[in-house]
Amino acid sequence: MSERWMIQGWTNGELNALVKNLGEETARKIQRGEVKVSLEEVMKVLFDKHGRRIPEGLRANVCDPNRDFRFDQLELIGKAYYANGIKRLHDTLEVDTGISAKQLKREIEHLLAILRENSRVANIINGVWLPVIMPKLEADDLGTTLEQYLEAVGKSYTDVFPDRKFNNYLKGKLVDQVSIVDNSRHDQLIKRMRQGPVPGIHFPNPLQGFSFQADREQIVTLPERFVLSGLDTVIAMVMYPDILARNYWTPDLDLAALSYQSTADSFYFDALYDVVVDEDELNFGDTANLAHAYNEFSGSLFFLG
């Protein structure tokens, strides 16, 4: 009876796996009492080899990503790449963050080093990452700010792709209608932006295949400097439309940290192919379906500098 109780709930496969992990010789020494065993908890890796968040323990819906929908990481060589993104931001939003390409590059390299040193999250760098500067926040109302940022998206997108169009289906409807989702940590970014420009790394698709609700649920187990994306996705789109809205085969982007009118609604960017005009286009709209997981949709993360 005692032997049966000791292995209650274990399958033969689990017992064999345990012996395999220990090594047969070590397992027999433990069984004979010839060695003492000390236990050390293994820290779970939070991102897979592709830089995607491992969706363990989530209640909300998640599906496998469709990797036909992807972003291409450009080589970040020298200061020119940083300078181009900063120039688009300054020109289209009509601001001056006061941060040079050299300063941004140095800050991003520092943040990448921090991430590489943390084995739990280091794999996120295997995915696409973009250096971003969040401008100082001037307006108190987030809806007003979002309207301004989306105007800049339209200018930047059509400047890079002159034959295309950007459709903001919520133009003029955002003032006093936007709020931050609880526990998204996006309020940390907003607080910093009220003090001045905030550099950081935008990861556009570590959450591909996650529903909006899963985007929000997973953030609590990430290190504190990770913020669920909202306004930073819009600024990243201003700085890098050639990457984030290259064509139809780029993932759609959730702004999961933001609510529109109520907690049952949020926002997303959608790069589409218009068969009528035979051209790609970029759309911005809202979605009330926060529970369903789509394999071409992705939430984003921002790593605070």
Report the number of distinct structural domains present in the chain.
2
Task: Say yes or no: 88 and 183 in one domain.
Answer: yes
Report the pLDDT value the prediction gives residue 26, as an integer from 0 to 100: 79
Distance CA(153)–CA(133), nearest Å, equals: 15
Three-state SS at 165: coil
Task: Say yes or no: 206 and 263 in one domain.
Answer: yes
Q: Confirm whether 147 is domain-assigned.
A: yes
Mean pLDDT, the chain, rounded, equals 91
Each residue's pLDDT tens digit, 17-72: 777 777 888 778 777 877 777 655 566 899 999 999 999 999 999 999 999 999 98
How open is the CA angle 170-144-140, to the nearest 5 degrees?
Answer: 150
Neighbours of 130 (CB within 10 A): 26
Domain limits at 140? Answer: 80-304
Q: Confirm whether 7 is domain-assigned.
A: yes
Task: Say yes or no: 176 and 299 in one domain.
Answer: yes
Higher per-residue pLDDT: 257 or 18:
257
Task: Say yes or no: 22 and 96 in one domain.
Answer: no
Q: Confirm whether 117 is domain-assigned.
A: yes
Report the pLDDT value the prediction gives residue 69, as an integer from 0 to 100: 96
Burial degree of 158 (CB within 10 A; 0-12, 13-18, 19+): middle
Each residue's pLDDT tens digit, 69-112: 999 876 665 678 899 999 999 999 999 999 999 999 999 999 99
Report the pLDDT value the prediction gives residue 160, as an integer from 0 to 100: 96
Residue 272 near residue 283 (C-beta atoms within 8 A): yes
Q: Confirm whether 173 is domain-assigned.
A: yes
Q: Is the pLDDT of residue 15 over 80?
A: no
Report the pLDDT value the prediction gives residue 117, as an integer from 0 to 100: 97
Task: Say yes or no: 132 and 246 in one domain.
Answer: yes
Q: Confirm whether 219 is domain-assigned.
A: yes
Task: Say yes or no: 84 and 14 in one domain.
Answer: no
Report the pLDDT value the prediction gives residue 1, as an integer from 0 to 100: 43
* Average pLDDT value for residue range 120-138: 96
Q: Is the pLDDT of residue 303 over 60?
A: yes
Report the pLDDT value the prediction gives residue 52, as an integer from 0 to 100: 98
Q: Confirm whether 243 is domain-assigned.
A: yes
Task: Say yes or no: 291 and 218 in one domain.
Answer: yes
Q: Is the pLDDT of residue 13 over 80?
A: no
Res. 164 pLDDT band, cuts 50 70 90? very high
* Average pLDDT value for residue range 255-283: 91
Task: Say yes or no: 6 and 155 in one domain.
Answer: no
Task: Say yes or no: 157 and 92 in one domain.
Answer: yes
Percent of the chain with pLDDT over 70: 92
Task: Say yes or no: 26 and 86 in one domain.
Answer: no
Each residue's pLDDT tens digit, 104-128: 999 999 999 999 999 999 999 999 9
DSSP single-letter state for residue 242? H
Task: Say yes or no: 19 and 144 in one domain.
Answer: no
Q: Where are the alpha helices (DSSP H) in the chain?
A: 2-6, 12-22, 24-32, 80-93, 101-117, 142-160, 186-195, 212-218, 231-239, 241-244
Q: Confirm whether 92 is domain-assigned.
A: yes
Task: Say yes or no: 178 and 292 in one domain.
Answer: yes
Q: Confirm whether 84 is domain-assigned.
A: yes
